[in-house]
Structure 1
């Protein structure tokens, strides 16, 4: 994990169960005698993430309806820290902090994880957007309950990314997105089945990806079509954003995305790799000037 990631050395389970006592009911003992969280139980995963937010990010209230995606906080934190490094490249390798740094989280979801972590770690000013009005209401309730300096906007156009969210006088230093990466509900279910198998659980869950509904997990054309649409629309906002970025779960999509960037006249782009245990993730970043 990123060296500034607070979770790089693992979970402080005694400390986490202290802030969320209910989590203790979902701990299991490994063969070596160490305690761990029962990651096969969706409730355990939600309680773990809630405890991490309470203990490390100054959150006092956070809850998530069953139908929404429950994010792994450590991995989300890595994206934020990697974005900080990207911004630092133009500031003498010093990460810019404070509300002068403005960030846009496309598809922030009901969990609001990226704005919470980014605001806590670097005091950046965040705007989150989502096409789901229920997700917007849930995330707005988290903002209100914790008195967070975060704005959440509803995106009424399911085919738009920046239009209707970035105003004429707005400027964002960076945009971020964790796109739906499956191309269909069937493909998403197969991904969930693989997760159950990797956890050694001889059953499947009715809850895709331990939570999450269609717009969060899949879209027509999958991740490639989604990010291509974002890239094409970004040209309209070339003077209002410093860096556009998006996670890319499938590395095989990178050549096609690079070709799309070249086609619309992007002057600079890069792929930033992030290593989390045995899993490697990445995001693609581009700008016009």
Structure 2
């Protein structure tokens, strides 16, 4: 299956899925493989089991993850789009490091809402060798992430956020220093809006009424009071407390219309710089917003010294 829009040039999935290679690495995928109208191999992306098996094959083939699974009902992330975020974060760090992408475990990344899938730490560690700290409020998600680390013998730090109203508070410790934070925030403002969004998606697929989600997702992964803007606004407010402990704070933004109010919030926070990065993924364009309190002439020093 070829992607309809260009992924990041370093994205291993930019030319689509090599099903021959994927099935060779994960033979179980063959049972889910079908042909599209052009006779090319693909899967039924409305089939939860097929999506999960494809992810398992992609993570094993491209990122050396021998075992991957998630509990039923948890978010099953589309790998190519998630990895794009990682690659653009690497570019962001390169911009702060004389255009040289920093690699290795001295580079510290904080993944807010890491989820049961642990997708960002798994792929980011494989691609760039960074050390990830994954945070989640869901105990079952943290348990799943711990099992993935154990099965694959990975050194990823996992922390439970115990207070729903907090994001960075309680998980960033006094001696921590992070080069980058990342987050795929819950974007619906209520459970009703999340349900309506799911129904619109199935309607667009011509499948009529259904409450099922082909990529799954728990409530905490999909909605929070106030929706995406409120969540990121809280993130911005808390980031001020940790301005000296992190070079770049970032978050995905699902709706372009949310960028303007978020930029106003960041301006009030008196950040040193704001960047908005567009990412082309399949049939849509996504984006993330990034902000830093570190002045431009001090960023390379932060990259060099933090985490050592």
What is the distance in 1 between the residues matched to 2:143 and 2:19?
A: 31
Q: Of 245, 248, 254, which residue of structure 2 is paired with 1:243?
A: 248
What is the distance in 2 between the residues matched to 1:225 and 1:28?
A: 42
Q: Of 231, 249, 263, which residue of structure 1 is paired with 2:236?
A: 231
Q: TM-score, normalised by structure 2?
A: 0.91
Q: Of 271, 280, 288, which residue of structure 2 is paired with 1:283?
A: 288
Number of the residue aligned with 2:20: 14
1:77 aligns with 2:83: yes
Where in structure 2 are the equivalents of 1:190-201 lying within 5 Å?
Answer: 190-201=196-207
Q: Of 208, 211, 214, which residue of structure 1 is paired with 2:219?
A: 214
What is the distance in 1 between the residues matched to 2:214 and 2:197?
A: 8
Shift in Å, 1:203: 4.7
Number of the residue aligned with 2:279: 274
Distance 1:37 1:205, change over 3 A: farther
Q: Secondary structure at the match of 2:270?
A: coil
What is the distance in 1 between the residues matched to 2:280 and 2:160?
A: 32
Distance 1:20 1:194, change over 3 A: farther
CA-atom RMSD, angstroms? 1.2
Cα deviations across residues 194-237 of structure 1 (Å, max 9, x unaligned)? 3223334345243x353111000011111111101101110000
What is the distance in 1 between the residues matched to 2:210 and 2:28?
A: 25
Q: Secondary structure at the match of 1:25?
A: helix
Shift in Å, 1:263: 1.0
Q: TM-score, normalised by structure 1?
A: 0.97
In structure 2, runs of 5+ residues without a counterpart are: 1-6, 295-308
What is the distance in 2 between the residues matched to 1:209 and 1:216?
A: 14
What is the distance in 2 between the residues matched to 1:214 and 1:46?
A: 19
Number of the residue aligned with 2:121: 115
Q: Of 90, 109, 112, which residue of structure 2 is paired with 1:103?
A: 109
In structure 1, runs of 5+ residues without a counterpart are: none
What is the distance in 1 between the residues matched to 2:69 and 2:139?
A: 16
Q: Number of paired residues?
A: 288
Q: Secondary structure at the match of 2:124?
A: helix
Bigger RCO (CA 8 Å, 6+ sep): 2
Q: Secondary structure at the match of 1:92?
A: coil
What is the distance in 2 between the residues matched to 1:184 and 1:50?
A: 31
What is the distance in 2 between the residues matched to 1:61 and 1:149?
A: 15
Q: Secondary structure at the match of 1:210?
A: coil
